[in-house]
Structure 1
Amino acid sequence: MEFGLNFFPVMAPGSKSARQYYDETLRLSRLADTWGYEHVQTVEHYGSGYGGYSPDPVTLLTAMAMATTRIRITTGAVIPAFTHPLKLAGKLAMLDNLSGGRLDVGFGRGFLPDEFDWFGVPMAESRERFDEGLEACRRLWSEENVVFSGKFSSFGPVSLLPRPVQQPHPPIFVASATSPDSCATAGTAGYHLQVVPSVTSREQLTEMLSAYRSAWASAGHPAGGARIQIKYTCYVDTDGSEARERASLFENNYIEQMTGAIASWATTRSEAYPGYEKFIDKVKQYSFENSLRDNKVLAGTPEEVADRIAVVGDWFGDDLCVSLQFSPGYQEFEDSRRSLELFTERVMPEFTK
């Protein structure tokens, strides 16, 4: 089992400035680079306290790449529907060069109706735009004189510059929220996987991972070659009650910010997102105690957190890379740094030795 850092800025703008958040992100990234973590990653969101400080993950990840030397730099994820593939492939190829070939590219569909409205992109097209954008980027990275004729973009012949350092292209991840079918499609294609257990049930996530691993093997891809990132917020303290108190505060802050971001699902229906109109009801039923009980958040003493990760490994497999958010919401930097330090010294060795 490996571990990485996940940065998802979920906070009202008045609770912490963007400049302060970026500075703290870079400081934690430097520590993670020194302390043996596998990756750092961040999201793409717009216009709200739900991730809005990261409208361009490539920009923030470039700063992280310059602040580190060995840790992998991961998009978690970029949304092809919002960017022309020539621009997206070029930006990511630049980042692969600037990081010395440390880039992993996670692609996602997006799921917030307001973001699609702001970009003037119909949500019904999100799956097709995702598939087309990913394929265009893959070809631009790995081929020359590319002629591409898609439903949403056509270009060529063109040879992308710069060429990525990693050949034939940087490792590709697919972010999946709830769909076993999308996980199976990713496995068949030989792409890696990003999942978030907080938005699905244990049973559904087990089904998703089973579909992915089975499709990977059936397609003849190398055994042990699949990489699965699973994302959690993590609060560690020598006083377990203190860790859980902070966890309750900032997990409820996450729910508060998410509630605003998904409000438009109250009046939005899309065949491309079956069941998503129920998001608001699910969020209204949120209980921190239930989330902690179901191991959707990691909080407690180092020993308690290690026990929870062991259970996660039993449930979902010990081949995971656990992507941890140690800086949730507007939490004070010193609390985030201390949590990261305790995890590094007293939890991580239990799974990496």
Structure 2
Amino acid sequence: MVRSWLFEIFSYPYDPDPANFDPQLCKELYDWKLDSWIAAEEHGFDGVFFSEHHFTPYSISPSPNLLVATLAQRTERIRIGVMANITAFHNPRRLAEEGAMLDHLTGGRLEVGLGRGVDEPEFLREGVRMEETRARFEESVALIQLAWSQPRFTHKGEFYTYDDVSIWPRPLRAELPIWVTALSPQTVSWAARQGFRFTSVFSPTEHMRTIFDGYRAAAAEVGREAQAGDMGVCRNVVIADSEQEARDIAEPAFDALFAAFKEAAVFHDLDNVPAGYEHYQSFFRPFAGEDVSFEALVAIGAICVGTPATVRDQIVSQLETIGCGHFLNWGSFGTLTKEQTLRSYRLFGEHVVPALRALTV
């Protein structure tokens, strides 16, 4: 069985100039997005993952834990989480407290996602040195787990110190599922050794298989057999009634997404990235040019577009190749309208979700 999730970046698509921000348009966007997440439960999705970004209309989800709490009160079954809270932008004690609260507010449906972050413009604006994000990340995750598991805890680290303290509340469940976002081999191996699930986006299907093979090998080194359910792949998805219509709406939508992504995430100088981010020189280089071919991204599997049958077959083939047990549908982006998004989600629920539930990888 493969689980189906919505993944939500939550872009503000109207105007990138902050002077032209329209609060009424933003309110309408929040309203219909919430409707779409509620509909995900009706369409058979297993859960919804939100994201965290700052300083740009690429995402108006700077505090995604608020979205988790909001959606929890309007749904009953689906699991809800963030992919991912960026630890360098938070006090980990606060993240531990919020995670514990959300576990109660969701009735045990919370999925915890944590990441060290990779979007250089955010770190520059926040004044956080990227060279220290891995150390901060690993220390933060350890502190969060300690705070969740111990009635009283002491932590003395490089960045954070607590002496004989408690958090109130602690989580509803004894153990919370932890996901990390990972592309670099070092983070993938670390996640495997910790027993965390992980997801990746944009990489070609064959490369995703190689990434998961590395995860399996690292898990085996610590005596753990990795499962298909340890890994998820995230893809942009657009489904319409015909192949041509799907492509006609998907290509400009992705062009708009790419323009926002390039400004919000890509390193300014790919020949001189911060220490610890060397892996991303090759990953980001195609996005640093003037154009990313829509057809090329479809060919490598980064975009799944077409009729319900076409998209179903594309996704099933990818999951069988990669060997992963979670599919994250990034299906609302760029210029896609409310009507186009809701139709695509409905068709995914009717035609793709049942096929994924029946799939063994």
Q: Into which bin does the TM-score normalised by the smaller protein fall?
A: over 0.9
Matching of residue 300 in structure 1 with residue 306 in structure 2: yes
Distance of 2:140 and 2:14 partners within structure 1: 31
Q: Does 2:346 align with 1:341?
A: yes
2:99 corresponds to 1:95: no
Structure 2 SS opposite 1:165: coil
Q: Distance in 2 between matches of 1:118 and 1:153?
A: 22
Is 1:287 aligned with 2:288? no
**1:275 Cα deviation from its structure 2 partner:** 4.8
In structure 2, what is the Cα distance between the partners aligned to 1:26 and 1:265? Answer: 34
Contact 1:61 1:73 in 2 (8 A): yes
Per-residue CA shift, 1:78-124, capped at 9, x if unaligned? 01111111111111111111001111111111112221123221110
**Residue aligning to 1:148:** 155
**What is the CA distance between 1:281 and its match in structure 2?**
4.1
How far, CA to CA, are the matches of 2:309 and 2:41 in structure 1? 24
What is the CA-CA distance between 1:326 and the residue it aligns to? 2.2
1:180, 1:207 within 8 Å by CA — same for their partners in 2? no
Matched residue of 1:59: which SS?
helix
Task: Please give the alpha-carbon distance, in whole angstroms, between the structure 1 residues aligned to 2:228 and 2:316.
Answer: 22
- Residue 173 (structure 1) aligned to one of 169, 179, 183: 179
Question: Cα gap change, 1:339/1:100 in structure 2, threshold over 3 Å: closer, same or farther?
Answer: same
In structure 2, the residue matched to 1:260 is: 263
1:164 aligns with 2:165: no
Amino acid paired to 1:4: W
Deviations 1:274-305 (A, max 9, x none): 05356664112410011112211110001110
Cα deviation for residue 139 of structure 1 reads 0.7
Deviations 1:41-97 (A, max 9, x none): 11110011222x011110111111111111111110001111111111111111111
Distance 2:344 2:229 in 1: 29
Matches within 5 A, 1:1-353: 1-14=2-15, 17-51=25-59, 53-167=60-174, 169-177=175-183, 179-196=184-201, 198=202, 200-221=203-224, 224=227, 226-262=229-265, 265-266=268-269, 269-277=273-281, 281-283=285-287, 284=289, 285-317=291-323, 319-353=324-358
Q: Aligned partner of 2:222: which letter?
A: A
CA distance in structure 1 between the aligned counterparts of 2:226 and 2:182, rounded to whole angstroms: 22
Amino acid at match of 2:276: A
Call closer, same or farther: CA 1:217–1:226 in 2, change over 3 Å. farther
Aligned residue type for 1:303: A
Instruction: Calculate percent identity across the aligned residue pairs.
Output: 30
Q: Give the secondary structure class of the aligned counterpart of 2:15.
A: helix
Whole-angstrom distance in 1 between the partners of 2:219 and 2:229: 7
Change (3 A) 1:263 1:292: closer
Contact 2:51–2:64, Cα closer than 8 Å, also in 1: yes
Distance 2:338 2:71 in 1: 17
* Displacement after TM superposition at 1:12 (Å): 3.9
Q: Which has the higher contact order (CA 8 A, sep 6+)?
A: 2
* Structure 1 position 263, deviation (Å): 5.7
CA distance in 1, matches of 2:207, 2:352: 27
Structure 2 distance, partners of 1:10, 1:130, is 26
What count of residue pairs does the alignment treat as equivalent?
347
Q: Which amino acid aligns with 2:172?
A: V
The 10-residue stretch of structure 1 (12-21 or 71-80) with the greater mean CA deviation from structure 2: 12-21
> 1:287 and 1:227, CA in 2 relative to 1: closer, same or farther beyond 3 A?
same
Residues 293 and 131 (structure 1), Cα distance of their counterparts in 2 relative to 1, 3 Å cut: same
Q: 1:71 to 1:140 in 2, by over 3 A?
A: same
TM-aligned CA deviation for residue 184 of structure 1: 1.8
1:72–1:103 Cα contact (<8 Å) kept: yes
Aligned Cα RMSD in Å? 2.0
Give the Cα–Cα distance (whole angstroms) in 2 for the partners of residues 269 and 316 of structure 1.
29
**CA distance, structure 1, for counterparts of residue 29 and residue 35 of structure 2:** 10
Q: 2 CA distance for matches of 1:210 and 1:277?
A: 22
List runs of 5+ in structure 1 lacking aligned partners. none
TM-score (norm 1): 0.92
CA contact (8 A) 1:302 1:346 kept: yes
Secondary structure of 1:14's aligned partner: coil
Unaligned 5+ residue runs, structure 2?
17-21
**Which shows bigger deviation, 259-268 or 293-302?**
259-268
SS in 1 for 2:255: helix
What TM-score, normalized to structure 2?
0.90
